Amino acid sequence: MAELEGFEYGKSDFVLLDEVTMEQFMDNLKLRFEKGRIYTFIGEVVVSVNPYKQMDIYRKEEIDAYRGRELYENPPHLFAVADAAYKAMKRRAKDTCIVISGESGAGKTEASKYIMQYIAAITNPSQREEVESVKNVLLKSNCVLEAFGNAKTNRNDNSSRFGKYMDINFNFNGDPTGGHINNYLLEKSRVVQQQGGERNFHSFYQLLRGGTPDMLSRLHLQSEPEAYVYTREGASVITGSNDGSCHKAVLSALKVIGFTQEEITSIYKIISTILLLGNLEFEYDGEMVQLPAADSVRHIAELTSTDPESVSKALLFRTVATGGGEVIEKGHSQQEACFGRDAFSKALYERLFGWIVSRINGVIEVKGYNPALHGKNTVIGVLDIYGFEIFENNSFEQFCINYCNEKLQQLFIELILRQEQEEYHREGITWQHIDYFNNQIIVDLVEQNHKGIISILDEACLTVGNVTDTICLESMNNKLGQHPHFTSRKLCPTDKTMEFHRDFRIRHYAGDVTYSVEGFLDKNKDPLFQDFKRLMYNSSDPVLKDMWPDGQLSITEVTKRPLTAATLFKNSIIALVGKLACKEPYYVRCIKPNEMKSPVLFDEARCQHQVAYLGLLENVRVRRAGFAYRQPYARFLQRYKMTCEYTWPNHLMATDREAVEAIVTQHGFEEDVAYGHTKLFVRTPRSLYTLEQERAALIPILVLFLQKVWRGTLARMRCRRMRAIYTIMGCYKRCKVKGHFWEVERRFAGVRSMEDYGKSVEWPTPPAALAQFHAITQHLHRRWRARQIIKNIAPSDMPEVRAKVAALGALSGERPSWGCGRAWERDYLANARDAPQTSSNFSRAAKELKGRDQYGQVLFSGFVRMVTGLSVTSGSDQMVALHTSNQDDFLIYLQRGQLCPNQDRVGELVGTLCDHFTRVRNTDLPVKVSQRSLSVYMSGKQKNVAMETKPGQVTADFRKSRGGFTLLLPAQ
């Protein structure tokens, strides 16, 4: 049962029809087509209806959905049968094949491309270069073969005019390692003649419309297909593709595959030669046939790397060897010359196509394979071959194609029956004989030795004398007149749908087909004058020479008569059937819904005819014979266990078979099933649909229950995960904190005994959580270290220390020289050493001032140069500005005394004032350090104080300037 499709889409497997009738089959097929479901199963067979539109069902999502899944686990699809063939090949090491059949326009070529695309997508997950190269060549080969082997017909814009069977070789890993392509019965007659509304092969139009002007000039071609006889019929026909872009794609594909530039050039030279040959006209001058177009002959000779005389001779004469070994040249009649030209053109194209296929095979063949070293080499075969054809005028090609379909239908029925018998035998189920139409009688009618139609044709071709198609038909009437599947107008005179001496009819399994015998013998003989073969073999172009090995034979050399076209085709089809018979087959049956290429029109009569000749109804009957449905016990139990109380959610029985029996018994299906060794067999689809309906009703309930349980499970999982996360985070934080503490303790263990009390010890980087704590700890350590240092300072030195600390903070490192390294005397005017001449007078005046004003002590004294006003610069000058609140500043210059001529006393003054200010007022004294000049206020007006060095100046002094004052400094 294919899942994920509701009952509104009909039955996804024709085996599950209530009754196997053509009416029910067609109703189901039409419903699924109208609902956009173009694929339907018949067991393991996929029935595909051409949708005539692009469908969004071949994306990577679909590839992933079908990869590794069973057929019934997803809706019907080409990917399902491709995956089934790949799994059988990989898991069981069995050679498999996928047979794609159907009439022209049913979508066979597209189906084969999608199957190749799927196989390429699911293989080589490790992206090995050599495997990717093989995959690219296999995929690109489709593009090349379509260009040279497909054409636009009245039924199909991209009709394959040849049969193709591709073997893909895989190694033991399931990766493609190479392949081989076989082609069957190229419709070469299309090269010289097409029906109305149809085109020649795509390659001609792609070259003419896609080739560059330079390329066409070198090939002596024009860009208009109307200019050539062989392409004129299809020149105005509209197709769904762009010939120009297709030509570029083909050139790219040829290069990817490995064709050299010389080989590509030779390919298009041959195409050009064929086009020029078609335009040759022959004139009879009363004595012999002539070629008036000398330029065309010269161009053909240039393109084929031969000489013009040899080309003209091969077209106008035929070399014949007499019985005595004498060689004579016989001139053609006008009719014979035209026949020879067309035969040569068809042979050129046929050999070109065969050479391209063999060249691709040479690239993709498995090289250096050793089973002992590389393991078993398995194969998947893909057969894309023409379907049954019934036209208004059916000729030799339709006869061969329909014979091929008879052989494949015979194989199809035999393999399906054999598979059924083998499965019944494996499972211990009694096999019941199935009545079906065995088309062996029709196959014998065509291919039986000495009695079949092909033997009669060959005999007519071998007979000496003027044997015509009519004589051949007469021979068929005489030998096959009693055959139940053969008739003609002579055998049935009242049937006016056939013409006397022209038509015969074969009653094929797919329906009656009337063939016109006209041209049968010529097409079967497939004659080509030996002169053309020798001409091409003697070409200096190695590609052309390689295509015509039979041209090396001398005209007098006696050779065995070549096999006829029908016999060659019969042998190739017998070999193909032999290849398919030894593989496990999977089938894709393609159906064309209408002749209008409409995505909405479903022509029931047309589709019913295809269903009949594809044998789909017989396929359903064979599949349903005895039992319509079978499934391994484990799979059946997994799907339907919720319908039985004893098996949901899990059974407690000894085996899955007993659990399946419990489900069957509860639903009362005991009489409608059989138990195999590993599978349950259900006889009628109705039992299965009862289970399906009950399952469909239970699924929403189970889904809601499972959603509830799963959501609870997810919530609990998230909760446990969050708890675990927080626990881990807490433990980690504690570990980091402890580690930091231990590291700090280790590094600072001996700081008490260090000279610098741990100043040189590097602090470890703290975790983020301890950033604030780390800053506090560093601050505490600095305070402790300062305390340890201060303990050793004498109390008498403490005022100086406090003043220096205050100066350091106030100047903020902006003044490099501020007297930090010397002892600060503070009261310099009272110091006899610093001011020996004025110290006694200052001491007496200070004492009087102290007695009068009652001040505590002199903080700082020294000689100054003064003007009303005050600040500090960052230089070495001794200028200080003391700012007042009433904007009447005090500007001074500290003069050095006798202790040291170069002492800097600015820092001492600033430090003393800042320290005193802080202790008295409990606030900081604002200090501004300027770079070049000071700004002061005097009597409420702003003044700038600049500095200037003046030669000859003995002592520093102030001088008025335009903007304020200038401090004149002695030159150093």
Q: Which of 105, 149, 340, 452 is catalytic?
A: 105
Q: Of 699, 666, 698, 660, which Cα lies nearest the Cα of 682? A: 660
935 among known catalytic residues: no
- What is the separation of C-alpha 699 from the centre of its chain, rounded to a whole number of angstroms? 36
Task: Examine the residue annotation and report whether 312 is marked as an active-site residue of this protein.
Answer: no
Known catalytic membership, residue 389:
yes
The answer to whether 614 and 589 have CB atoms below 8 angstroms apart is: yes
The Cα–Cα gap between 899 and 903 comes to 8
Catalytic residue among 109, 142, 524, 839: 109
Q: Where are the beta strands (DSSP E) in 292-414?
A: 317-321, 327-331, 378-384
Known active-site residue 159: yes
**Cβ neighbours for 11, distance < 8 A, ≥ 6 positions apart:** 17, 28, 40
Which of 12, 40, 124, 160 is flagged as catalytic?
160
Q: What sign does the CA torsion over 867, 872, 877, 878 have?
A: positive
Given 40, 156, 439, 619, the catalytic residue:
156
130 closest CA partner among 177, 186, 92 = 177
Active site residue 104: yes
Among 163, 381, 387, 676, which one carries the catalytic annotation? 387
DSSP state of 163: E
Q: What is the rounded end-to-end Cα distance, in angstroms, of the chain?
A: 109
Contact 185, 100 (CB under 8 A): no
**Whether residue 964 lies in the annotated active site:** no
Helix axes 108-122, 78-91, angle to 10 degrees: 50
**In this structure, what DSSP letter does residue 125 have?**
T
Catalytic residue among 104, 183, 619, 871: 104
CA–CA separation, 164 and 553 (whole Å): 31
**Reduced 3-state DSSP string for 750-788:** CHHHCCCCCCCCCCCCCCHHHHHHHHHHHHHHHHHHHHH
Rounded distance between C-alpha atoms, residue 800 and residue 808, angstroms: 12
Q: Which residues pair with 513 in a beta bridge?
A: 506
Distance CA 174, CA 783 (A): 77
Candidate list 96, 124, 141, 159, residue with the active-site label: 159
Q: Which two tokens stand for residue 32?
A: 């699924």
Distances (CA, A) of 22 to 18, 34, 50: 12, 18, 20
- DSSP letters spanning 432-492: -------THHHHHHHH-TTTSHHHHHHHHHHSSS---HHHHHHHHHHHHTT-TTEEETTTS
What is the helix (H) or strand (E) element at residue 680, kind and residue range?
A: strand 679-682
Size of the chain in residues: 972
How far is Cα 99 from Cα 576, in angstroms, rounded to an integer?
11
| Proportion of the chain in helix, strand, coil states, percent, rounded to 5 | 50, 15, 35
How far apart are alpha carbons 155 and 50 in whole angstroms? 12
Token digits for 76? Answer: 């019907």
- d(CA 295, CA 302) in angstroms, rounded, equals 10
Q: For residue 350, what are the contacts with CB-CB under 8 A and spacing of at least 6?
A: 186, 188
Please, are residues 281 and 342 in contact by the beta-carbon 8 Å criterion? Answer: no
Q: Is 109 a catalytic residue?
A: yes
Rounded Cα distance between 130 and 672, Å, is 54
One-letter amino acid at 136 equals N
Q: How far, in Å, are 122, 416, 557, 831 from residue 39 at the CA level?
A: 21, 20, 57, 117
To the nearest 10°, report the CA torsion of 162, 167, 168, 173.
Answer: 160
Q: Tokens standing for 952? A: 């000859």
Angle between the 308-316 and 334-364 helix axes, to the nearest 10 degrees?
120
CA dihedral 513, 514, 516, 522 (to 10 degrees): 30
State yes or no: is 739 an active-site residue.
no
Give me the active site residues, please. Answer: 104-105, 109, 156, 159-160, 387, 389
